[in-house]
Structure formats: structure tokens, C-alpha cells
Amino acid sequence: MNPTTTTSGRRVAVVTGANKGVGFGIVRALCKQFDGDVILTARNVDRGQQAVADLNQEGLRPRFHQLDITDTDSVDALATFLKDNYDGLDVLVNNAAIKFRREAGVPFPRRIKETVGCNFFGTLSVTRRLWPLLRPHARVVNVTCFCISSTITEFSQDLLSQLLKPDLTMAQLELLLQDYVRKGEMGGHFRVGWPTDAEYAVSKVGVCLMSAILSREAVDDSRGDIVVNACCPGHVRTDMSRYEGSLTVDQGADTPMYLSLLPRNAARPRGQFLAERTVAKWW
């Protein structure tokens, strides 16, 4: 498709971090099952365009747009592209994330800042910026990780009671995670109740809580039937898992796809965490 073609009104889905891994599998599945355009986004243009070319070889036709979820100019550019070309958004899959390997020797202050910065604050930034574009019946899917259920036992009771209170606001959640990063950078986060060496899982706990808050906000949204959920793709063979997972990227795409294509006005799941298409309790 010519990138200058205006497709206003046409349904459109966006997947973040989709040049490889689970995100690539989600784009492939959306191209086959979603009734509209699919935008494969990647922070690196060459890697993203190569992924599009690979899918073209399979006869699939995603469009490409650059997106670094930690770069507000990049997020703005995607929002402008969607506004100009579609005047809306029907499916947003927040898949992009990072996870440092311990043996890489990256100091904890940098790990915690970059991991929470990308996985939590980057995801929040994209969602906030694109939220006004969501159309009635839009689906927002946040890819998190089942590892949160084991990490949650390492939080102090005091911190848990703050994080898990049913009326937690986004502003409160942001403040708590900012505090975690600040304390982590000073090496004192565990003294105030955060897990010791688990910045990836903490960032994903944040994304799960973010999903529940957004879901509550969507209830009063006049557009109607905007559904937000979080999910784990399972243990998938990707760079992040060092190819140790049991699932292919297409299998890992299954639950994110299920949530992306939830039928109109489905009563549930809403604001939940799912694994294998099933609502799972993680705390």
C-alpha cells in the first residue's frame, strides 16, 4: 500500500516491538485474522522493514511505522500517522519490552531505570498518547509475564496493600514506580519493601496494575466497549528467553490474539490478567 494513501475510517491494529519474537507472531496472526490494516512497529527502521519484507514473502501485507516506546517524539509521530491515515485505532498490542541478562554485568541502577522506563513508563506513554484515538469496541492488550506471581511474594505487606488497593489511581501507581526506580538507583529499594533483584518482574506488575486501572477508566468512557486486558504469552522461544521456551512465536501470539479479537460487547474478560486464554490470579 502506498504510505500516502488515506485510509480514514478503515479498521487498524498496532503492535509494538514487532520486528521479532512474540510481537512478530502477533502481527502475522493479525494479518490473517484481523479485518483491517495491521501496523508493524519497531524502534529500528531496518529491522522493522526486514520483518515486513519477511511477512510479504508469506503473502501478508502489514504496514510499517517506526516506534520507540521510550521516545515521546516517536510516539507522537505514530499518533499523527494514525490520526492522519485512519482517524482512529481499533487494536493496540503493547508487546515491546526489555529484560537485561544478569551476566551482561549491567549495574542495577541502570537496569532498574531502563527496564521500568521502557516496560512500564514506555507502555504507559504509548497508551496515553493513543488512547484518544481508540474507537468504540477498541481492544488494548498489554503483554506481561507470569513471573509476576512468584515475585509478588517478595513485596512487603505495606507496599502490597498500596499497590493492590481496588481504587489505586494511575497517578499513585506512577509515583510508587518512580519511587522504586529512585530508591533502586540509590540501592535502598529493598529496605522499603520492594523485591531485591527483580526489576523486570516489578515492571510487569506495574503493567498489570496499569491495565486494571485503564479498564476501570474505560467503564465511564462515552465511546463504549473499550476493553483493556493484560496477558502472558507463555514461555516462548525468543531472544528474550534465549530460545529456551516451549512455544513458537505463533503459539505465544495465541492469548494476545484472543484478547485483540474479543467479540463486541463481551462482558469479560475486562481488566484481567490471562494466560492460555484463561483469567489467572497473580497475587
Ligand X SMILES: NC(=O)c1ccc[n+]([C@@H]2O[C@H](COP(=O)([O-])OP(=O)(O)OC[C@H]3O[C@@H](n4cnc5c(N)ncnc54)[C@H](OP(=O)(O)O)[C@@H]3O)[C@@H](O)[C@H]2O)c1
The catalytic site residues sit at 200
CB of 161 to ligand X, least distance (A): 26
| Angle, CA 267 vertex, CA 261 and CA 269 arms, to 5° | 60
255 is a site residue for ligand X (CB under 6 A): no
206 is a site residue for ligand X (CB under 6 A): no
Residue number closest to ligand X, CB atom: 21
DSSP E strand stretches across 33-88? 37-42, 63-66
26 is a site residue for ligand X (CB under 6 A): no
40 is a site residue for ligand X (CB under 6 A): no
Between 140 and 145, name the residue whose CB sits nearer to ligand X: 145
238 is a site residue for ligand X (CB under 6 A): yes
Phi, psi of 191 (to 5 degrees): -70, -20
Phi, psi of 238 (to 5 degrees): -140, 175
Question: Which residue type occupies 88?
Answer: G
239 is a site residue for ligand X (CB under 6 A): yes
Site string for ligand X, 71-100 (x = CB under 6 A): ------------------------xxxx--
User: What is the spatial distance between Cα 276 and Cα 253, in angstroms, rounded to a whole number?
Assistant: 10
Give the residues lining the site for ligand X (CB under 6 A). 16-17, 19-23, 42-44, 47, 67-70, 95-98, 118, 122, 143, 145, 232-233, 235-236, 238-241, 245
